[in-house]
Structure formats: structure tokens, C-alpha cells
Structure 1
Amino acid sequence: MTEPATEPAVERRDDRHRYEILVEGERAGLTAFRDRGGQRVFYHTEIDDAYAGRGLAAQLVGQALADVRAQGKRIVPVCPYVAKYLTEHGEFADITDPVTPDVLGWLRDGKPA
């Protein structure tokens, strides 16, 4: 009998400043962030081509944003995918801050939080 496929799992990797989505133990994608005080600034999301078309990016970002809420932080969506996700999921509007030139400069210059 074949074992059923396990559900994808999302893990926060603070040591790498990202959330990863794992499919059967293999990393299928990530969303990268940097913390700026009480803000979590998301700046990049990717899903490996081998896992494309499975809805993994939405699952990854949704769980990452729920984790941000649970930590009492706010979201800054520099990443276009995260920004698009937020337009479709209004439940995070109360913890979302706008992307400002100040945030973009901070992110570009690599200043620690």
C-alpha cells in the first residue's frame, strides 16, 4: 500500500530570515524577510519550478503572515507576491504598513534592525 503524501509544512527559519515551505521534507520555496523594529519586511518570495502550480506560494505566505500576527508584529509587503496576496486577503489589513521610501532605503542599505 502506498503511503499518502504528507501535507506541505511551513517553517520559520530565523537563522536564515525566511519562511520555508517543505514538500515531503524538501524545500519547495521560501519567503524572505528582515525585521525592522516591530515590522517584518517581506522582500522576496519564490517557489522552485518543480513545485509550480500547486498553490504553495499562497499557503507559504498565508501561514507566514499568520505567524507575524501571532508574534505581534506588523507586515511591510515589499515583495510583489506578498503585496498581491494582501490585496486578496483583507484579514491582514489591520497589521499591514505601507512600503515607504524610508523602508526601501533601509532594506537597500542593509542596516540591521
Structure 2
Amino acid sequence: MTQPSDPIVRNVDARHRYEILVDGVSAGFTAYRDRDGQRVFFHTEIDDAFAGRGLASVLVEQALDHTRSSDRRIVPVCPYVAKFLKKHDEFADVSDPVTPEILQWLEAALAR
């Protein structure tokens, strides 16, 4: 019997999202849009077949690490990302609050 491999997180910039792969199969993603030096995270989803494995946490942590290393700030519109940030204050120095202006911009960006 083979052991499952560690999940792999990759940025798929053309699709505006980070994906998490388990044994080469897409298990979920966190979606974003970029705006003026900010990466606005607006949705995170893990496929039901992969639920309960802690993959959302792995995905979001690696996405936020990558965002920091890309010299972008994090805006947590996604409830899961916002909850993650409340528990992980190591990202506080690169996080910005969600404002009505950002929400309006995001709505317009997603409508395109």
C-alpha cells in the first residue's frame, strides 16, 4: 500500500488562485484578485472528498506565506482567511482590513 504524498500548494496566477493538490488531484483552492499591492482573498473551498484533513489550513498558510514573499499585503474578504488570520498573528504586519471600498472594487473586478 502506498502512502499519500504531502499536499502541494501552487499559485495558478492565470486563474487568480492557489490550488492544493493531494497525490496530483486538486483538493481545493483559495481565490484572490490583486489590487494596488494587495492580494484580496475572497473564497476558499476544499472538495468534500478531502474534508477533515486540515487542507484548508495548509492551503491558506502557504498562500499567505507566498503573498508575503511577493511583497503584497493580505486583505481577508474570505471568512476562512479572516478566521485563519485571527489565530495566526504572524501575518498581522502584512494584513489590511476589509473596507467598503475594497468590497466595491472586488464586486466590480469579479463582474468583468
TM-score by length of 1: 0.95
Alpha-carbon distance between aligned partners in 1 of 2:109 and 2:14, rounded to the nearest angstrom? 16
- Computed over aligned residues only, the root mean square deviation of the Cα atoms, in angstroms, reads 1.3
Q: Which residue of 1 aligns with 2:86?
A: 87
Quote the Cα distance in structure 2 between the aligned partners of 1:56 and 1:5.
13
Structure 1: unaligned runs, 5 residues or longer: none
Q: Which amino acid aligns with 1:56?
A: L
Aligned-residue sequence identity (percent) comes to: 62
CA deviation string 1:5-64 (max 9, x = no partner): 210000000010000000000000000000001000000000000000000000000000
**Which residue in 2 is equivalent to 1:46?**
45
Cα shift at 1:109 = 1.2
Provide the C-alpha distance between the structure 1 equivalents of 2:40 and 2:16, rounded to a whole number of angstroms: 10
Equivalent residue, structure 2, for 1:99 = 98
Aligned residues: 111
Q: Residue 21 of structure 1 aligns with which residue? A: 20
Q: What is residue 34 of structure 2 aligned with on the other side?
A: 35
Q: Matched residues in 2 for 1:109 and 1:72: separation? A: 24
Letter in 2 for 1:41: V
Which AA in structure 1 matches 2:106? L
Amino acid at match of 1:100: T
Unaligned runs of 5+ in 2: none
Secondary structure of 1:110's aligned partner: helix
Which one-letter code corresponds to 1:51 in the other structure? F
Moved over 2 A (4+): none
Letter in 2 for 1:15: A
Give the distance between the partners of 1:10 and 1:87, measured in 2 at CA.
22
TM-score by length of 2: 0.96
